[in-house]
Structure 1
Amino acid sequence: MSKKQAFRINLDGQMLKIVLRVLLILLLIPGISVAATNGNIRGTVVDAGMNEGLPGVVITITSDNMMGERQAQTGVNGQFIFAEVPPGNYQLMASRKGFTPIRRPNVLVKVGSTAVINLTMELEGAAAEIIVEETRNVIDTETGNQGSVLTKEFLQRIPAGRSYQAAAQLAVGVTGGSNPNVGGGSYNENSYLMDGVNITDPVTGTFSLNFNFDAIEQLQVLTSAYDPEFGQNLGGAINIVTDSGGNTLQFKLYGENQNGEWGPKRDDVFAADGTILAPTDYDSRFDTKSLSAIVSGPVIRDKLWFVGSYQYSRTLISLAGVDLPRDFDGHYILGKLTYSPNASHRITLLGQSDPTTIDNTNQGSRFINPEAQSRQAQGGWLSSLRWEWYISPEQFLETQATVQKTFIERHSVPCTHNQDLGYHPCEDTEFENSINYTTAPRVGIFNAFSSGNSQVFDFDDRWRAVFGSKYSILQIPFLGTHDIKAGLQTDIMVWDKIFGLPGNLVYYDLNEQSYNPDTFMNYYWYEYSAPLNYETFSNQLSAFFQDVYKPINNLTFRWGARYDRSIFRNDVGERIIDVGVAQPRVSIIWDPWADARTKIVANYGRFANPGRIGVADYLSQSGFGAKLYLGEYFSNHTNEANNTYYYLPPIMNYTIHDTTTAPRADEVSVGAEREVISDLAAKVYFTGKFTRNLYALDELNLLWDQDGYNIIGSANGTFTSMYRMRTPDMAERNYLRTDIGMTKVRSNRWEAQATYSYTISRGSVQNTPSSFLSVPQQLEYILDGYLGTDIRHDFTSGFSWDLPDDPWTTRLGATLFLESGYPLSRTYNNGNYGDFGRGFIYKDTVGTYARAATWWELNLLVQQALPVRKGKLWAIAQVDNITNQRVGQSAFVSFDNRWRISSRQNPIRFTLAGRYEF
């Protein structure tokens, strides 16, 4: 057993012991927070004859998503509430002696929302019961947040990308890719949650796991004005609520094959001097295959349910001229048990894993031999235990403990004796899948081939243990009614990292005459000391309080506050980030006609993201010892003077300012929604978000000329950059967005949502930590520049329609996305060629030179049910980017003032799939 394996086993055992001990304590202590995973049903029953609230009515709800039934009685004003019910479709029954019973089917409860059901009961007559075939609520008149809650029924009917990351793009204020920009924030300032528990990567601030799309019950995407129980972000919150099973055994199998190579191709675009301005589509590849299965049902009816799911995904993508494709091979596994011993308790155990390998990750050059390609192995596991205690109809306690381990490992692609794909070949004496940690890599420059080995190896383990609970007490009478919720949460994070170079050497080779292998020679090489190996511990503590106050039935005040305290340490245990921040939030929601068809909203909230381990790592002190040797290119030079190690970095060149604070955003928004016709609501919102005190680096040593073009001296006599981490007020973002949209809930066989947004985003920092302060003479061009999230026009929509009078059931679905181009800046080389600080200068305000082209994509999905003896069989065809738009999505203005495209929008893609379910 290697030392690395032994260390991991020891760490795993220590973490599990800690988790078990803390879990036992927390399960016995009320009041420690998890974000929303349930919804509410609230309403009023009115006596038709007296036209006033009717007390004593027994309200019963049942659902395939809830074990057993729940009952409540209306109070003196005829009001009732069911708090914290699992999301899904419900049937509601109302009965009282002397009155005709009412049955209301098809009540949809969305996560974090309240379904308002108002009923009118008549004296007992000839009818046995009254069935109210009313439609679902279009507007939630008790919440002020913006975003979307996407149900599994809707996601299954539209071309949503079959991942929660892609589906999140349907929400208002979301732009970018798999790690999106939400509400003007950076790609690494969102929080990701599974069943309410924070699963955000503690190092990078990005998503940390992939997930079986078919195991999603609902996907909640919050982009602004959300409650205090959501926090630790400056962007948005993406909350996955997983399927819990039911009393009916269900099975679903889905398989797909997607091909992006059959569409029209584009040639290279060249300048007059032969410079490539845009790449060709020929000799590229885009193939995806996926297979998923989910089975769920009862172990004991109304007592114990189970869910098991698996998804396999394989994607091969290569750019033009690159021989070996990027080979993504992922397995997503989930298991879940839900146990309810009685109506007062529900216990849920969830386990999830997503082992994945990505081979041939170096796709930026064709001059890489197979043995020099890299593999990234990633994934991990998550285990969560949740206890929900319905103390009474008005009191609820939820306690949850989650442990997650993720890993990222980088090294050479394991060798293989099977050369059908042309991957790294094994030597005759090597075993299959051997990994080479000893042969030194040779990095090619000036079009020489890279060979020998991949450049680095990296073993990166990230632990996150989350313990929390929340307590709710509802319908407190005081000048109206109050629903109060409070909670605590603690996060314990560990980062274990090993980083090194194979053989502790790296050679840099070149072709003295570009493209001529006969002039190949060694340029120089480095010899390094032993690999880096360190571990960091960090922790966060969060608390929140919120009150939903209704002085009258059609007016709601949601107010409360959140406090986050964060400590992030570097590799030697120093507290680099040690901050706390309070975040008050308030929303006012008015339903002026008290008919649950209109709301007028005003919100204010403060949001904060104290940081992440990756920020603290800037001040880590570990480094390499290194020797530099000059190669045969320097034929008249001796290496004797370089036979001693020097330290990289030679001095500790990162420090932190004494008075840093937590980055924060103050947000205000106003809006209105109205159900203009049955089941369809229109909305308009305005949001302003003002972010300050973002992490930024200034430079304390180098002295620049008045234009920031040349270094003319230094403070300490050495030409070494000395950076200092700060959180100044001028590290800011100012984000203004206006939204106009509509929502159509499912009825008459169709459902839709669409939003148009107009956005202005200006400031000095998009991603953090930023180095915009490192050359002070350039600040006049950076302050109040246009940021990458300044997407002026953004349109998103999704639509589904079940064809009428079709005995076989045909479904059509479509999505349309449009984003106008992001702002571009022209830069000019400075006199230092990037050796110190920034390698370029601006001469105009950032983002004012030009804009990238507008891109749009239309996707179409057709599903046809086929008759089978048992269950349902679906034939599925999908076309993505049906018009084959190929806008340059990754592009830049070169130093010689040329618009150069490095990658284009994905091509038209055709998917054939099938799904079987019973």
Structure 2
Amino acid sequence: MTESNRFHCSRGIRRTALSIALGLCFAGTVHAQSNTAGSVFGQAESGDTVQIVNTQTGFTRQITVGGDGSFRLSAIPAGEYRVIRTSPSGEVNERVVRVSSGSGSNVSFVAAASSSATALDAVEVRGFAGAVNPIDVSSVESVTILTEAQLDRLPVRRNATDVALLAPGTVRGDNRFGNLASFGGSSVAENVYYVNGFNVTNIVTGTAFNQVPFEAVQEQQMKTGGYGAEFGRSLGGVINVTTKQGTNEWKGGVSLFWSPDSLAKGTPFAYDPTRSGTYRIVDTGSKTDSFVYNLYGGGPLIKDRLFFFGLFQGKDDTEVLNYENGSDRSKEDSPQGLVKLDWYINDSHRLELTAFSDKNKIKGTTYQREPGDLTIGGGTPIGTFRAEEGGENYIGKWTGYLTDTFTLSALYGRGEYSRFNTNTNAESCPVVVDVRSSGTAPVGVAGCWIDTFRGVPDAGDVRKAWRVDGEWVLGDHTLRFGLDREEFETVDGSEYSGGASWRYVNATPGSTAAPGVVVPPGVTELVRFRYIGNGGTYLTKNNAWYVEDTWQVTDNFMAYLGIRNEGFENLNSEGGTFIDIEDTWAPRLGFSWDVNGDSGLKVFGNAGRYYIPVYANTNVRLAGPELDYTEWYTFTGIDPATGIPVLGEQVGPRNYTSTGEIPDPRTVVDNNLDPMYQDEYIIGTQFTFAPNWTAGFRAIRRELQSGMDDICTGDGAANWALANGYSEEQAEAIYGALEHCFLTNPGKALSANVDLDGTGTLTRVDIPAEAIGLPEARRTYTALELMLDRAWDGKWFLSASYTYAKSKGNTEGYVKSDNGQDDAGITQDFDYPGLMDGSFGYLPNDRRHSFKLFGAYQLTDELRLGASLLAQSGRPINCFGVYPGDGPDPVAPLYGVASFYCGEGTSVPVSYEDGLHPRGTSGRVPWVKIVDLRLDYEPRWAEGLSFGLVANNVFNREDYYRVRDDWDTGAGDRVYSYKFPTGFVAPRTVTFSVQYEF
């Protein structure tokens, strides 16, 4: 190695055998990695030949080292590789390295000709392959990768979300949206999920995704920030799963997992049968008896060329869900599976085919108790229900290693997701809720209804997507580029069970329950009727292209420059385009500085802009035929079977939110609409301080630059029109154009197409932001992450992190955890100015402190212990009530319990003057502290056999993630259950496992 070598190691490095064998001499051209493969890079002498050979499949690639001494082999499938360097004179040196998806493995042969070469030949290069957060100086991203071997040592629940929650900067989301994670303060609906490079995110609401059976997972990668231009459609995180594949050796196995309900604790519940406002936490007896079995195997159909892997998963889950006025008994027994074919056509071309099914069918019976029965659960059967979710997915991918410096890949995928649900009572039993203090239903529900909504029989989605990605190494630069397109067809429609919703409430005479609805004198109880129904078939189309350059500026300083361009198109139920956004520009910049030139100290940073598509939920709710209205009545009796009231007089008018007409697509969206996007800034470092030990920190700042939501207010626009020369009729038309709910960027100037004169001719009207009277959408996330990792050395490993974070703003994003609303893009935020009073504060995903600790220890040759600890502070508490009738917004009361005005600490009725309780100022939920343990026994007397025992929530702590934030019943009176805990952590479960591999 000469001084003129462009990629020489720093002269200050101590050239010990260990440092070189570990590949710690930073060299070669590096770049941000793809989500489906990794790379091997490093340095040798000019003219050397470097060959990699997968130790399990025989996959081989070979290149000749260029004049600068660097080499790079990209798009490498995850696995273990022999890296063989051959000099022109025939001298051979070999290393062994682990390649993971989305990361670069550094191997250096620069000292191979030195006097220490003989000693080095015996050293296997494994670097920090056993570490959870290895130092990868080739990347500017914030990434956590967990392999199958690591997951098999941990007591983590067997799903993608719980694995993702091990990464720094992630917190569990509101359980009303399912089992989902929030990344970096974003909502749970703003992540993107991949399986073998195919986007499996369900973008109706963003709260669902397809998952492969857990035993088919080879690696799971979590990008928590700073990801490159290749990735988009996410403001949160990226979760990528790489599945197992066949090898040159036929292998198979069977695994069994049993979680008996007899060893489980029931889900806790805050119980107050007398509605006195004083609760006790009880065990509801809600449990699941789960039995899951897997049969799997794989091997060579043609040695070194064609490989097969297949897995079949069966299960038999029986769930008992007890609640205050009854129970559900359900059963899940849907088979699932995966098939993977890998065809290495030759050393230059590779073809992958993946097919998997995660379709899940649930069927059960609902039981209900008689009014006045204050026990939990039980009851007599009132009907049956069926539900189906998930579907089938097919992925094909070709990778071509066209030259030593140019790689090209192409992918096509098709995925299905079902959202079917039905029950025997859906036609005849309306939704009935009774929150009166004198109500006869034990917990506020009555009647014979089972599910809140009944959907159309064929509700579901089909995704079709393709993408092309390329990489070209040009001297100091590695250029990557790509383009992709997705088309998403959504069939959706729903209506309240029984076609109606009835809500019985206490009322205060003289108070306002909704616009024009004033409680009459002497009336202390009312019932609200609501109808909502919609449906249709909708298309959503997303496309993008990107270009990025990783530039090796100096020997140990790498700069990353990328740009991503995206477009989003949404169509209404008649096939008309109502959103067509083109050319969104998302720059990405970053650097990685290998300070000492030995990969022992990395300083990195990045800045980027990230966009998210307009989800299909917006098509369904905003651009389809939706009818939504409410009416209020007095009543004289209640049908004991259905809960339907015997109506008295109607109080006030019918209030419409949607009229049921399909709007002209040009009239429902701002002409200048920006999709939601945010900017992110990260600075951090990682360093080694002892053998196998790494530490680091990251400082993170995320700022929402443009929120997107619907507004349903036209008063301010109409007043502005009258003041600016428009006639009263024209001002009324402008009012009507916005009043039916209009998609825009809240707090910014608005441009609407309005039929000003009733002729059908649309005129563009530009309205200033101050006329609308709404604040600009704001969300910020500021965090400091501290990480500590010890790599597995055959004896033990450990990973620890602490995150201090603040998530603040007036909108959570694509969901609203305040009320469990998953209407992506059209939550109740910003609908009316009065609802935004006091809305700025700490958001639901604000968990100020998070401690995570997990690892494993090999007790003996046969016994291994795994453990995980989570300690996390609670989210803020709010106080929600009906917007006061004496406030300046006359329509905000229409939404009922939806404002930050409440009676906490004040008199009733709530007044505009003293009733405001800004977001997050009513306390905080207590800390959550969970310990999970795992014990594995691998007997030496039976090779391939293993036994496992996992105990989750070992101490059965009854911690909870949220409380009830509704102070108001909906008619100005206090709810007895305000601040009652809900959203409890999963109770203790015990899982036994047996696995045999052959």
Q: Distance in 2 between matches of 1:34 and 1:140?
A: 11
- 446-455 vs 788-797, greater mean Cα deviation: 446-455
Structure 2 counterpart of 1:909: 989
Counterpart amino acid of residue 448 in structure 2 = S
- Percent identity reads 21
Per-residue displacement from partner, 1:253-291 (whole Å, max 9, x unpaired)? 221112465467778665996345354114332433222
Q: What displacement does 1:766 show?
A: 0.1
Q: What displacement does 1:153 show?
A: 0.9
Structure 2 counterpart of 1:384: 395
Structure 1 unpaired stretches of 5+: 1-32, 46-53, 413-434, 513-522, 705-713
- 679-688 vs 257-266, greater mean Cα deviation: 257-266
Q: 1:59–1:682: structure 2 CA closer, same or farther, 3 Å change rule?
A: same
Structure 1 counterpart of 2:866: 813
Q: Distance in 1 between matches of 2:630 and 2:778?
A: 42
Q: 1:906–1:442: structure 2 CA closer, same or farther, 3 Å change rule?
A: closer
Q: 1:437–1:285: structure 2 CA closer, same or farther, 3 Å change rule?
A: closer
Q: What displacement does 1:659 show?
A: 2.0
**What does 1:404-553 align with in structure 2 at a 5 Å threshold?**
404-412=415-423, 446=439, 447=441, 450-451=447-448, 456-459=454-457, 460-474=459-473, 476-477=474-475, 481-499=476-494, 534-553=536-555
Per-residue displacement from partner, 1:788-834 (whole Å, max 9, x unpaired)? 12111112232122235x2xx32221122221101112234444795
Whether the aligned pair in 1 keeps the contact of 2:367 and 2:378 (CA below 8 Å) is no
Structure 2 counterpart of 1:560: 562
Residues 1:353 and 2:360 aligned together: no
Structure 2 counterpart of 1:295: 297
Structure 2 counterpart of 1:673: 686
Q: Per the alignment, in what secondary structure is the counterpart of residue 456 of structure 1?
A: strand
Q: 1:222–1:362: structure 2 CA closer, same or farther, 3 Å change rule?
A: farther
**What does 1:724-803 align with in structure 2 at a 5 Å threshold?**
724-728=742-746, 730-768=776-814, 769=825, 770-777=827-834, 779-783=836-840, 785-803=841-859
Q: Distance in 1 between matches of 2:581 and 2:926?
A: 41
Structure 1 counterpart of 2:620: 617
Q: What displacement does 1:762 show?
A: 0.8
Q: Per the alignment, in what secondary structure is the counterpart of residue 566 of structure 2?
A: strand
Structure 2 unpaired stretches of 5+: 1-31, 129-133, 174-178, 369-375, 507-525, 638-644, 718-730, 748-775, 815-824, 886-891, 902-915, 968-973
Counterpart amino acid of residue 346 in structure 1 = R
Whether the aligned pair in 1 keeps the contact of 2:319 and 2:329 (CA below 8 Å) is yes
Q: What displacement does 1:756 show?
A: 0.7
Counterpart amino acid of residue 798 in structure 2 = A
Structure 2 counterpart of 1:23: none
Per-residue displacement from partner, 1:54-108 (whole Å, max 9, x unpaired)? 2233322222454432222333343222111111222222233657633322x12
Structure 2 counterpart of 1:117: 107
Q: Distance in 2 between matches of 1:900 and 1:658?
A: 44
Structure 2 counterpart of 1:3: none
- 792-801 vs 324-333, greater mean Cα deviation: 324-333
Structure 2 counterpart of 1:335: 339
Residues 1:175 and 2:171 aligned together: yes
Structure 1 counterpart of 2:211: 210
Q: Per the alignment, in what secondary structure is the counterpart of residue 617 of structure 1?
A: helix
Whether the aligned pair in 1 keeps the contact of 2:270 and 2:282 (CA below 8 Å) is yes
Whether the aligned pair in 2 keeps the contact of 1:877 and 1:913 (CA below 8 Å) is yes
Q: Distance in 2 between matches of 1:627 and 1:136?
A: 64
Q: Distance in 1 between matches of 2:921 and 2:495?
A: 42
- 599-608 vs 76-85, greater mean Cα deviation: 76-85
Q: What displacement does 1:451 show?
A: 3.0
Structure 1 counterpart of 2:145: 149
Q: What displacement does 1:301 show?
A: 0.6
Structure 2 counterpart of 1:58: 49
Q: Distance in 1 between matches of 2:834 and 2:494?
A: 37
Q: What displacement does 1:168 show?
A: 0.8
Structure 1 counterpart of 2:659: 649
**What does 1:229-244 align with in structure 2 at a 5 Å threshold?**
229-244=230-245
Per-residue displacement from partner, 1:332-381 (whole Å, max 9, x unpaired)? 21111111121111111111112212345979996986444532211211
Pick from 117, 122, 129 the counterpart of residue 131 of structure 1. Answer: 122
Q: What displacement does 1:527 show?
A: 13
Counterpart amino acid of residue 863 in structure 1 = D
Counterpart amino acid of residue 241 in structure 1 = T
Residues 1:874 and 2:946 aligned together: yes
Q: Distance in 1 between matches of 2:681 and 2:283?
A: 45
Q: Distance in 2 between matches of 1:525 and 1:758?
A: 44
Matched pairs, number: 821
Whether the aligned pair in 2 keeps the contact of 1:100 and 1:123 (CA below 8 Å) is no
- 374-383 vs 465-474, greater mean Cα deviation: 374-383
Counterpart amino acid of residue 957 in structure 2 = Q
Whether the aligned pair in 2 keeps the contact of 1:65 and 1:87 (CA below 8 Å) is no
Q: What displacement does 1:901 show?
A: 1.3
Per-residue displacement from partner, 1:216-264 (whole Å, max 9, x unpaired)? 1111110110111010111111111111211111113221112465467
Q: 1:444–1:371: structure 2 CA closer, same or farther, 3 Å change rule?
A: farther
**What does 1:560-579 align with in structure 2 at a 5 Å threshold?**
560-579=562-581
Q: Distance in 2 between matches of 1:38 and 1:557?
A: 21
Structure 2 counterpart of 1:13: none
Q: Distance in 1 between matches of 2:116 and 2:390?
A: 63
Structure 2 counterpart of 1:16: none
- 821-830 vs 331-340, greater mean Cα deviation: 821-830
CA RMSD for the aligned pairs? 3.8
Q: 1:828–1:500: structure 2 CA closer, same or farther, 3 Å change rule?
A: closer
Whether the aligned pair in 2 keeps the contact of 1:774 and 1:838 (CA below 8 Å) is no
Q: What displacement does 1:545 show?
A: 0.5
Whether the aligned pair in 2 keeps the contact of 1:721 and 1:837 (CA below 8 Å) is no
Counterpart amino acid of residue 158 in structure 2 = R
Counterpart amino acid of residue 199 in structure 2 = N
Q: What displacement does 1:491 show?
A: 0.6
Q: Per the alignment, in what secondary structure is the counterpart of residue 461 of structure 2?
A: strand
Q: 1:771–1:632: structure 2 CA closer, same or farther, 3 Å change rule?
A: closer
Whether the aligned pair in 2 keeps the contact of 1:351 and 1:384 (CA below 8 Å) is yes
Whether the aligned pair in 1 keeps the contact of 2:366 and 2:450 (CA below 8 Å) is no
Which TM-score applies when normalising by structure 1?
0.82
Structure 2 counterpart of 1:515: none
Whether the aligned pair in 2 keeps the contact of 1:361 and 1:376 (CA below 8 Å) is no
Q: What displacement does 1:205 show?
A: 1.6
Q: Distance in 2 between matches of 1:77 and 1:553?
A: 11
- 316-325 vs 299-308, greater mean Cα deviation: 316-325
Q: Per the alignment, in what secondary structure is the counterpart of residue 980 of structure 2?
A: strand
Per-residue displacement from partner, 1:524-576 (whole Å, max 9, x unpaired)? 999999x9652112211100111111022311111111011000122233333
Q: Per the alignment, in what secondary structure is the counterpart of residue 835 of structure 1?
A: helix
Q: Per the alignment, in what secondary structure is the counterpart of residue 618 of structure 1?
A: helix
Q: What displacement does 1:209 show?
A: 1.4
Q: 1:618–1:624: structure 2 CA closer, same or farther, 3 Å change rule?
A: closer
